[in-house]
Structure formats: structure tokens, C-alpha cells
Amino acid sequence: MLIVLNHKMNFLKEEALAYAKEMEGLFLKEDQLIICPTYTYLPFFEPIGYSLGAQDVSHYQNGAHTGNVSASQLSSLSVRYAIVGHSERRLFEKETSELIHEKMKELLDHHITPILCVGESLEEKERGETLFRVMQEIEESLQGFTKDELEQIIIAYEPVWAIGTGLVPKEEEIDRVIKRIKEQVFHTWQIEMPVLYGGSVNQNNISSLREIPSLDGFLIGSFSLDPKNVKSILK
């Protein structure tokens, strides 16, 4: 089971350093835990016993792009995974599937595994459009990749209405969506793609969510901000 921790734009320097220190000596298998700190704190983390991820990447290769961070720069900091298409970026930064595709291409060219976030809004859920929305985001972002490239990609199913709200879909619903994602991806590309769930995962629901048959892991935001929580779920 893969666990991805998304720190978002949290912590000041000393807090990030303290967090990184807490993560020392975890002795997990390398690809079990992926920590995605804010860009500036990436060098604080020594990814031994876990892997390092980024929360985003530029779609540009290098050069005159003020404020951006490239896949090659991430790679030079031992980053092996990167979240792309998080709903906060789709919403606040107006990221489109085309842009997300370009970012994934950059990552794949630098041997960084993209974690593609997809998920429906509350309105879409209420209109019964969950699967339509999720498959649209997947197809738009993935079309054009080779089979070799597709085999490197991980999907995170994150209903937008469940992120940071304390609301979580029923387990059967998560299972249904993930199964349909896997079936559709297999049907279209003949690939077995891992699918994670993200959205208000915490100590109260993780044990039952873990039982979802189709699930390959979790993407965890706020609950991951306390290292004690992380250690408790890894036990």
C-alpha cells in the first residue's frame, strides 16, 4: 500500500526541519511512503526509508521562466514522484488537462513518476456525473502517451468535495469509482494503473478505508502535517 503525504504550503523553515528529522530512520520499503514537502524544503529531507515527491512541476524545460521549478531541477534533488493536476491547482491556478499533460511529459522525461489527481466537484457528484468527470480528466491528460510512459503513472482519485472538509465518500462508492477507472484504463490502454484515494483521510477512517479491495494507497493532506499521525498509520 502506497502512502503519499501532501504538505501543501504549510510549515516555516524550523518546522519543516523538525518534520524531516522526525522522518529519519523510518526503515520502510522505498516506495511505501512518499513525502511531498513545499519546494523550498525538499533539500531538508533525506529520502532514506521513504521517497521524496514534489507537489507540482513546471511544464517548461529550463531557462527564462521566473518562479518555476523544472523536472530536471526536481530530479537533481532526488525527487522521484510528483503530484500533478491537484484540484487546488486546477481551481486556483486554472490548470487545464493540456497543461497537466505537458507537466507529466516533463516528469516522465526525467524519470519522475507523475501522480495524477482527478475528482469530481460536489455539483458534479449531485448531478451523477462523477464517472464522466473523472474519466474525462484521465483521458484528456493521458492521451498521447506511449504504453511505456503510461506504465509509470499513478492516479489519485480525490473527490474535490472531500478534500480538507472531513467528508469522505462511502467505501463502496470509492471502490466503485476506482474499479471503473481501472477497467476503463485497461480497456483503453491495456495498462494496470495503480489508483490511490485522497480526501479527508485520518486516524478515524483509515482502517476501514484500507479494506477497500480496489485501492492501492492513499494521498493524505492535513492529517500528514503531524509526524505522530504519520507514524501511527504506518504501524
Indicate which single residue of 95, 124, 137, 158 sits in contact with ligand PEP (rule: CB under 6 A): 158
Q: How many residues bind ligand PEP (CB under 6 A)?
A: 13
User: Which residue lies nearer to ligand PEP by CB, 56 or 189?
Assistant: 56
Q: Does 160 bind ligand PEP (CB under 6 A)?
A: no
Which residues are CB-contacts of 41 (< 8 A; sequence separation ≥ 6)?
A: 7, 11, 13, 16, 17, 20
User: Which residue lies nearer to ligand PEP by CB, 19 or 223?
Assistant: 223
Cβ atoms within 10 Å, residue 169: 20
Indicate which single residue of 71, 74, 181, 219 sits in contact with ligand PEP (rule: CB under 6 A): 219
- Tell whether the torsion through CA atoms of 134, 140, 146 and 148 is positive or negative: negative
Which cell is 123 given? 455539483
In the complex, minimum distance from the CB of residue 234 to ligand PEP, in angstroms, rounded to a whole number: 16
What is the identity of the amino acid at 104? M
Q: Does 53 bind ligand PEP (CB under 6 A)?
A: no
Half-sphere exposure of 185 (CA within 13 A, CB side): 23
Indicate which single residue of 6, 97, 113, 141 sits in contact with ligand PEP (rule: CB under 6 A): 6
Task: Choose one: 18-26, 72-80, 205-213, 217-225; the region binding ligand PEP (CB under 6 A).
Answer: 217-225
Q: Does 137 bind ligand PEP (CB under 6 A)?
A: no
- As annotated, the active-site residues are 86, 158
* Greatest distance between any 2 Cα atoms in the chain: 48
In the complex, minimum distance from the CB of residue 60 to ligand PEP, in angstroms, rounded to a whole number: 24
Alpha-carbon gap, residue 189 to 193, rounded angstroms: 10
Indicate which single residue of 116, 177, 185, 220 sits in contact with ligand PEP (rule: CB under 6 A): 220
Q: Does 215 bind ligand PEP (CB under 6 A)?
A: no
Q: Does 216 bind ligand PEP (CB under 6 A)?
A: no
Q: Does 199 bind ligand PEP (CB under 6 A)?
A: yes
What is the identity of the amino acid at 94? K
Closest among 178, 183, 220 to 203, alpha carbons compared: 220
Indicate which single residue of 13, 98, 122, 164 sits in contact with ligand PEP (rule: CB under 6 A): 164
Q: Does 168 bind ligand PEP (CB under 6 A)?
A: no
Cite the beta strand spans of the chain per DSSP E. 2-6, 33-36, 51-54, 79-84, 113-118, 154-157, 195-198, 217-220
User: Which residue lies nearer to ligand PEP by CB, 3 or 112?
Assistant: 3
CB-based contact 137:91 (threshold 8 Å): no
Residues that bind ligand PEP in the complex, under the rule CB under 6 A: 6, 158, 163-164, 198-201, 219-223
